[in-house]
């Protein structure tokens, strides 16, 4: 340690008094001399590595995973507490890039550890909204800190060299402006020389093992690369964003996706992809690029011990879960979900598997609605890696990811069969419009199941419930969506209680009593909550779908591409447990409890029913009024496909109506 009471020099001189003390005495010395008017500079004599000589072939992520705890301990060491270690320097840089002055910290407080600093830097780069002028001012102040990181490249400690390389790489990828500053500071030449030195060392030398991979990554980040041209092509003419892709932009994005599988480019390519906006265009080139093996690799990288890779690819997986569900359609399970599941099963001992999977696969209803028997058979089985069971238990991670248990369970598959009957198409589940299965502030009435299908599905549900292959809560989930299913399940359970064997009778009675208690509690809610059904009625001003309706009260809903203007509108609010769409051909067989929801065009005209058909091109719902003879207007027939549906409702348990017309449409 050297005492320095004069102006701080760029280089130390031999005249500075030097002395050594034990590390544990440093803090006491500083506190004792806080008001002495001088300061101290610290040099560490250790040249040891934290790697414990992990052996050749270790990737950066594996090395971090092996000694990550020691890195965190190092962050609390003397140099770091004195704000001259690489962690402290990086923390000051992040403060500067955030536009904030250096945070006030208690004397000698340790900086945040390595694993925390990298995600913060990468997250800030994605969310920063600082103006260009502010960015220029911030970067004008940063070279001093950047130079401190460069100094650590020449530090005797291999650990500090490693952290400096890692932080320099992070800054270049997160803040492209930093690249030119580091080049001006001579980082490229320093790293090139260091790499030559490392290559000359024996293969099992600890410094070679520790520093060769990060030095190569840092050099790649500083080098011009063909990937930059691809990124420029992707950004060219990008004023409209990426929602709809031109051919050349789709090609550039597909090429960028391929780069994510190449070790030298996976950080830069991954960062660009992780910052993309919403994509809904199922461009053939893009569909070809999103292959199962690519998604599998992304899932692998999301579990890396390397914070850069895990942060970027967790973000990509989250983003592409929604992207792939929209552009892959029926292929979503095959191209995305199955490879993600398989990757997390193969990653023995990964404690983050459940957490990441639950974050990226949020919409369980859409997954259930699109899961086929064939796809279900390709999901990982428990026997995938039986020899690793002890290792899983030893790490404390779940022996089997809970989501995969869910996907392969009997109820999830059966729930998907119910959803496909209730919804007009499985894609509706992606948008979470159904209140009882999504808790959104609106509630689309679902289709009512044909009697034969309802009986079959409810019997399957009762069977797995009685056999303890699903929970009572699962049964309630179905019953809450459709009162007809509730009635059917009760009848089936009652039949088992009367005619089943002793074990089945006991189980059925338990479920039946719990289901009836739930229904009684549901009916006692006061007040009953009604939800906006996305259907309105009002006086027609102009409607291309109902052209002879001007001045009359009609039911309607917005339909892209068609002019529909109404005034004095009222919105329909429902409890969809009791309200649903019936296929017109099945109206005679509907329960006598049901009555149609109606509108009245004028005082001297008869009531009309509310009807629904699907538009041919986009399969969006066309909502319109129809006379009681159920004759579909020619204007609707010309643009629609499939059967005609009529909106029906039955009374609630207390006999009151399950819907009402209320305040004008929420939007």
Task: Show contacts of 103-112: CB within 8 Å, 24+ apart.
Answer: 107/30, 107/31, 107/34, 108/27, 108/30, 108/81, 108/82, 109/81, 110/75, 110/76, 110/77, 110/80, 110/81, 111/75, 111/80, 111/83, 111/85, 111/87, 112/75, 112/87
pLDDT computed for residue 546 by the predictor: 92
- What pLDDT sits at residue 594? 97
Instruction: Answer yes or no: are the C-beta atoms of 484 and 591 closer than 8 Å.
Output: yes
Determine the pLDDT at residue 509: 97
Query: Is the predicted pLDDT of residue 369 greater than 60, yes or no?
Result: yes
Per-residue pLDDT reduced to its tens digit, 551-568: 999 999 877 678 899 999
Per-residue pLDDT tens digits for 428-451: 776 544 444 444 445 678 999 999
Q: Around Cβ 508, how many Cβ atoms within 10 Å?
A: 22
Question: What per-residue confidence (pLDDT) applies to 8?
Answer: 38
Interval 246-258 mean pLDDT: 86
Residues 6+ apart with CB under 8 A from 213: 58, 59, 60, 63
Q: What is the CATH number of domain 60-222?
A: 1.25.10
Query: DSSP per residue over 277-344, as a string?
Result: -------HHHHHHS-HHHHHHHHHHHT-SSHHHHHHHHHHHHHHHHHHHHHTGGGHIIIIIHHHHHHH
Q: Which residues contact 17 (CB under 8 A, 6 or more apart)?
A: 2, 3
- Assess whether pLDDT exceeds 70 at residue 498: yes
Residues 122 and 86 sit within 8 Å (Cβ to Cβ)? no
pLDDT score of 383 more than 60: no
Q: Between 598 and 61, name the one with better pLDDT.
A: 598
Residue pair 328/335 in contact (Cβ under 8 Å)? The answer is: yes
pTM of the model: 0.74
Average pLDDT, rounded, for the chain: 79
User: Does the pLDDT at position 154 exceed 80?
Assistant: yes
Q: Counting beta carbons within 10 angstroms of the beta carbon of residue 240, is it exposed (0 to 12), middle (13 to 18) or buried (19 or more)?
A: exposed
Question: Rounded distance, CA 112 to CA 89, Å?
Answer: 11
Q: Model confidence over 116-136: pLDDT tens digits? A: 888 888 876 655 555 555 556
Q: Where are the domains of the chain?
A: 2-41, 60-222, 226-416, 417-524, 531-662
Would you place residue 317 in the very low, low, confident or very high pLDDT band (cuts 50, 70, 90)?
confident
Higher pLDDT, 325 or 154: 154
- For the stretch 351-358, contacts whose Cβ atoms lie closer than 8 Å and that sit 24 or more positions apart, written own/partner, are 351/395, 351/396, 351/397, 352/302, 352/303, 352/310, 353/303, 353/397, 353/398, 353/401, 354/398, 354/401, 354/402, 354/403, 356/299, 356/302, 356/303, 356/314, 356/317, 357/401, 357/403, 358/402, 358/403
As a whole number of angstroms, the distance between CA 306 and CA 59 comes to 9
Res 486: pLDDT: 97
226-416 carries CATH number 1.25.10: yes
Same fold, 60-222 and 226-416: yes
Q: Given pLDDT bands bounded at 50, 70 and 90, which one contains residue 282?
A: low
User: Kind of pairing, strands 621-626 and 640-649?
Assistant: unpaired
Q: What is the pLDDT of residues 163-215, one digit of tens each?
A: 999 999 998 888 878 888 899 999 999 999 999 999 999 988 888 888 888 88
Tokens of 419: 């959803």
pLDDT digits (tens, 9 = 90+) for 632-649: 999 999 999 999 999 999
Which helix or strand (DSSP H or E) is residue 95 part of?
helix 86-97
Q: Which of 58-62, 151-155, 520-524 has the lowest mean pLDDT?
A: 58-62
**Alpha-carbon gap, residue 345 to 629, rounded angstroms:** 57
pLDDT tens, position by position, 73-114: 554 466 677 677 888 889 888 887 776 555 566 666 778 877
β-pairing verdict for 608-615 and 640-649: antiparallel
């Amino acid at each position: 340690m050297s005492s320095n009471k004069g102006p701080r020099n760029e280089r130390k001189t031999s005249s500075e008094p030097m002395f050594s003390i034990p590390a544990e005495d440093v803090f006491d010395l500083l506190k004792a001399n806080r008001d002495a008017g001088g300061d101290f500079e610290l040099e560490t004599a250790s040249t040891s590595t934290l790697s414990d000589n992990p052996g050749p072939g270790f990737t950066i992520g594996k090395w971090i995973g092996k000694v990550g705890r020691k890195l965190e301990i190092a962050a609390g060491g003397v140099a770091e507490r004195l704000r001259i270690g690489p962690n402290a320097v990086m923390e000051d840089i992040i403060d500067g890039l955030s536009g904030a002055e250096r945070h006030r910290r208690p004397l000698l407080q340790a900086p945040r550890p390595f694993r925390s600093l990298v995600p913060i830097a990468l997250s800030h780069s994605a969310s920063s909204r600082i103006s260009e002028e502010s960015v220029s001012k911030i970067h004008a102040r940063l070279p001093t800190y950047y130079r401190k990181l460069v100094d650590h490249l020449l530090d005797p400690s291999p650990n500090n060299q490693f952290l400096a390389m890692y932080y320099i790489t992070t800054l270049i990828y997160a803040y492209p402006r930093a690249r030119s500053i580091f080049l001006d500071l001579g980082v490229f030449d320093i790293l090139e020389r260091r790499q030559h030195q490392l290559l000359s060392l024996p293969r099992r030398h600890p410094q070679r093992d520790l520093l060769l991979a990060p030095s190569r990554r840092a050099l790649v980040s500083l080098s011009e690369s063909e990937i930059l041209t691809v990124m420029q092509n992707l950004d060219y003419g990008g004023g409209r964003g990426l929602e709809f892709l031109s051919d050349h932009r789709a090609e550039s994005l597909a090429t960028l996706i391929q780069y994510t599988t190449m070790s030298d480019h996976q950080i830069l390519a991954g960062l660009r992809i992780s910052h993309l906006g919403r994509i809904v265009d199922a461009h053939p080139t893009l569909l070809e690029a999103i292959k199962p093996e690519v998604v599998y690799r992304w899932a692998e990288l999301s579990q890396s011990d390397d914070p850069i890779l895990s942060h970027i690819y967790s973000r990509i997986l989250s983003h592409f879960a929604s992207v792939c569900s929209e552009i892959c359609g029926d292929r979503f399970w095959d191209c995305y979900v199955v490879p993600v599941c398989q990757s997390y099963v193969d990653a023995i001992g990964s404690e983050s598997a459940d957490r990441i999977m639950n974050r990226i696969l949020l919409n369980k209803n859409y997954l259930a609605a699109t899961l086929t028997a064939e796809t279900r058979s390709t999901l990982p089985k428990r026997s995938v890696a039986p020899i690793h069971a002890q290792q899983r238990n030893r790490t404390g991670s779940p022996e089997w990811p809970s989501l995969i248990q869910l996907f392969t369970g009997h109820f999830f598959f059966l729930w998907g069969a119910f959803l496909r009957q209730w919804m007009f198409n499985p894609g509706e589940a992606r948008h979470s419009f159904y209140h009882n299965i999504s808790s959104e502030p609106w509630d689309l009435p679902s289709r009512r199941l044909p009697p034969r299908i309802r009986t079959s599905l409810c019997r399957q549900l009762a069977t797995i419930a009685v056999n303890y292959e699903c929970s009572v809560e699962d049964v309630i989930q179905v019953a809450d969506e459709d009162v007809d299913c509730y009635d059917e399940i009760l009848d089936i359970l009652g039949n088992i209680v009367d005619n089943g064997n002793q074990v089945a009778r006991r189980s059925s009675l338990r479920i039946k009593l719990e289901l009836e208690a739930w229904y009684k509690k549901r009916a006692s809610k006061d007040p009953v909550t009604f939800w906006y059904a996305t259907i309105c009625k009002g006086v027609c001003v102009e409607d291309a779908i109902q052209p002879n309706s001007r001045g009359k009260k009609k039911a309607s809903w917005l339909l892209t591409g068609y002019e529909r203007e109404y005034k004095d509108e009222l919105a329909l609010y429902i409890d969809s447990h009791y309200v649903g769409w019936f296929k017109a051909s099945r109206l005679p067989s509907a329960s006598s409890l049901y009555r149609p929801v109606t509108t009245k065009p004028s005082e001297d005209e008869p009531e009309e029913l509310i009807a629904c058909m699907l538009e041919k091109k986009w399969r969006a719902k066309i909502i319109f009024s129809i006379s009681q003879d159920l004759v579909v207007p020619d204007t609707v027939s010309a643009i629609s496909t499939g059967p005609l549906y009529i909106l029906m409702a039955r009374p609630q348990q207390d006999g009151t109506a399950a819907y009402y017309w209320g305040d004008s449409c929420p939007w």
